[in-house]
Amino acid sequence: MSIYRARLSTVEQSKSVEDTDVDRVVWLTFEEFEQLADRGGIKDPETLIAYLYLKAEMMSAKLAKS
């Protein structure tokens, strides 16, 4: 499994999926994603691992600024 982080200047929403491992694509803000994850709306382990990795990275950066 690989995790890639990208920062987008604009959001282009695409409904087409060209990957056999992806069922669908949904664009969410980080806050919307967090709420969905907290409510148990995210089920697949790969997405949860990527989310927890990003959240830990963000917390680490926040502590480094303090």
Domain parsing of the chain, residue ranges: 30-65
Distance (Å) of CA 36 to CA 7, 13, 62? 21, 19, 23
Three-point CA angle 18, 49, 55, nearest 5°: 110
- pLDDT value at residue 39: 94
> Between 26 and 61, where is the model more confident?
61
> Is residue 43 over pLDDT 70?
yes
Split at pLDDT 50, 70, 90, the class of 6 is: confident
pLDDT at residue 13 is higher than 70: no
